[in-house]
Amino acid sequence: MKISFTDLQDAGEIVYKTMLPTAQICWPLLSERAGADVWVKHENHTPVGAFKIRGGLNFMTRLSRGQPQCAGVITATRGNHGQSIALAASKTGMTATIVVPFGNNPEKNRAMKALGGRLIEHGEDFEEAKQHAIALSEAENLLMVPSFHPWLVAGVGTYALEFLKAVDGLDTVYVPIGQGSGICGMISARDALGLKTKIVGVVAENAASYALSFAKGEAVSTNSADTIADGMACRVPDQQALDIILKGAERIVTVKEDEILDAMGYYFTDTHNLAETAGAAPLAALIKEKQKMAGKKVGLILSGGNSDRAMAMRALSAIKDDPEK
């Protein structure tokens, strides 16, 4: 699968009918903390608080142009993908059924309902929710929207095109990995622009399937993905995404749960932004690689800000009075 510059431009024409480009900001305190020239791409400032809206808009608009013979669409999610599909479906006059695992982020669940989605809870994790969604798609004549698809990658890739065109000379960009559309969009935009920027994927240590797969050079599934970073809670990698990552990523960094919580706190103290767990993971990875990245121009993808209250309070309560720089 290859996403071209034209694909990204065409997706942009769809995306920008609903939202403006998001900001990229160099925060002095964050740069001081990391010992690098740090630029943040603020995908927490989209209409659904996450980068996924871009892929949903592109996918559903292109689907609607094909006049699908189905009663509506269905997908599985931990939240941000579901919000994007619910919003985009409402704009194209289609219905959206969203399947989430039990115990999912309650604020994300309410947001999906508010956007017009029909919410179903099933399974203990994303993979079990996905299998239930597939079964329902057949039983109810619903089109199954996958978590990884060329239209999704081209849509979310518009954030990467914005970022790389706006900030010259980025040595490295850190991107969180869930099912892979975000990092594959970044790789696609980097390659389409002919840049040398290195792209580093970030996963949670407790959901390390993509890191294990990258190290082995082939798909490696895990038995669980028990991490606070719901947006990265993947235990079965997507083969198409993995192929792109193996060819285009520099490395994959794993971060611990407490490192993610610390990074959420750093975002709040240094930029006054609330990052969700997956959104904070790239900062956690940069802090972990502080010595390696010293003095370099670095990009961080703050992929979303949809933290539930309990997690936000947990992160904020962990902030030290005199945080280590």
User: Annotated catalytic sites, by residue?
Assistant: 52, 303
For residue 272, the Cα-to-chain-centroid distance in whole angstroms is 21
Those residues whose C-beta lies under 8 Å from the C-beta of residue 45, and which sit 6 or more positions away, are: 22, 23, 305
If we measure between CA atoms, which residue out of 121, 123, 106, 111 comes closest to residue 82?
111
Q: How far apart are the C-alpha atoms of 77 and 85, rounded to whole Å?
A: 10
At residue 201, the 3 state secondary structure works out as strand
Distance, CA of 4 to CA of 259 (rounded, Å) = 35
Q: Provide the edge-to-edge strand list for the sheet that holds 172-176.
A: 24-26, 37-42, 297-302, 172-176, 198-204, 251-255
Q: The tokens of 53 are what?
A: 């809206």
Count of CB atoms within 10 A of residue 10's CB? 16
Half-sphere exposure of 309 (CA within 13 A, CB side): 2
Helix (H, G, I), strand (E, B) or coil at 236: coil
Secondary structure of residue 55 in the 3-state scheme: helix
Euclidean distance between CA atoms 178 and 144, whole angstroms: 18
